[in-house]
Amino acid sequence: MAEIIVPELAESITEGTIAQWLKQPGDTVEKGEFIVELETDKVNVEVISEEAGVVSELLAAEGDTVLVGQVIAVVGAGSGSTTSAPAAQPEAKEEVKAPEAPKAAPVAEETSNEQDRTIASPAARKLAREKGINLSEISPVDPMGRVRVQDVSAHGSAPTPVKAASAPTASAPKEDDGRTTREKMSRRRQTIASRLLEVRQNTAMLTTFNEIDMTNVMALRSRKKDQFFEQNDVRLGFMSFFTKAVVAALKKYPYVNSQIDGTDIVKNNFYDIGIAVSTEGGLVVPIVREADRKNFAEIEANIGELAKKARDNKLALSDMSGGSFTITNGGVFGSLLSTPILNGTQVGILGMHTIQKRPIAVGNEIEIRPMMYVALSYDHRVIDGKDSVGFLKTVKELLENPEDLLLNS
């Protein structure tokens, strides 16, 4: 018999949430095979079984919070044809002396086992418990058989009039009439919310804006993109230009590449640039390490690799720790202008936005140019207006003259 224990996750993480059981009681598991997916504040972690055998018991349900070192499942010997659970049922019958109790106990146990075997989201399990619904009786819409909140709500809609009459609650009518849907925040979303609020409360955050004429960088990209792809097997995007421009500006204005530690300002002599990536679970910020030492192709490849890992939920904690500055691109969603919020202890973040053609004065003429608004949010405790405006002006000048950017890199 082997116990499945919540492993050490990271120095600052002491607990997680059962996101999904990949094995159910009675399933065969091989040594080294994934058995459960844990959701933490930053990433999801898949836990393996250290022994081969049969899953005999799950000690936590999907949606439960579990601590590092806690036993969450048991793997016993066998081939998967039998488990320890059925053997316990006859013993319960022999021990109970009351004439009606033997009938009730197996029913409750079978119901519990059926619910454990049902694949359901944590929110669906929670709602089913609140409504007293057996998950195994629900017919899910999902072709893979996964029960979701909508399935529980739909299943519970018919009997609610009887329940409401006998045990009304304050919140039940609001949720049962279909006008609202309650969904518990994921652990990651809760963490994002608390950290964003902490940043707003504990920093003197301001935002300054500028606009960039993207004509030259778009023309250069258009001329070089095919050759770039042939030589490097990676596409030339705008993020490498912005990353390089940011690194050059950080070197010129080092306080933007710093952080506060008590009463000290710690200036970073490295350039680990965070690139915000939107995922289904929320915004994550993987790090392009030593961006100052990477060329355009290496930056594009690194960003592409990190973005794929983020979408596939495969980012490790090491992929997101230790950044010195962050770039976020709301333009991919069509945002024209925004004020990005600082990331953790960093004192600066650059917000990119959508490229939009606008009439611009060029000399004494009016021309239609592809323009992008950019925003620098910064901690005014460390950075004054001179540095913040100068930083953003440097980024603007380099991107409007990309040949200079290539020389600087």
Which residues are known to be catalytic? Answer: 380, 384
Q: How many CA atoms lie within 13 A of 349 on its CB side?
A: 25
Q: What distance in Å separates the CA atoms of residue 287 and residue 294, rounded to the nearest whole number?
A: 13
Q: What distance in Å separates the CA atoms of residue 409 and residue 405, rounded to the nearest whole number?
A: 6
Token output for 313: 């939920």
Beta bridge partner(s), residue 305: none
Helices (H) and strands (E) in the chain, counts: 12, 19
Token output for 124: 């669906």
Tell me how far CA of residue 227 lies from CA of 233, 286, 368, in angstroms.
10, 28, 28
Element (H, E) at 372: strand 365-379
Beta bridge partner(s), residue 370: 357
Among left, alpha and beta (phi > 0; psi -120 to 50; other), residue 239 is alpha
Do 275 and 315 contact (CB within 8 A), yes or no? no
Q: Phi and psi at residue 157, in whole multiples of 5°? A: -70, -35
CA 198 to chain centre: 18
Token output for 212: 């960039």
Beta bridge partner(s), residue 363: none
Q: Please give the DSSP secondary-structure letter assigned to residue 121.
A: -
Q: What distance in Å separates the CA atoms of residue 327 and residue 352, rounded to the nearest whole number?
A: 7
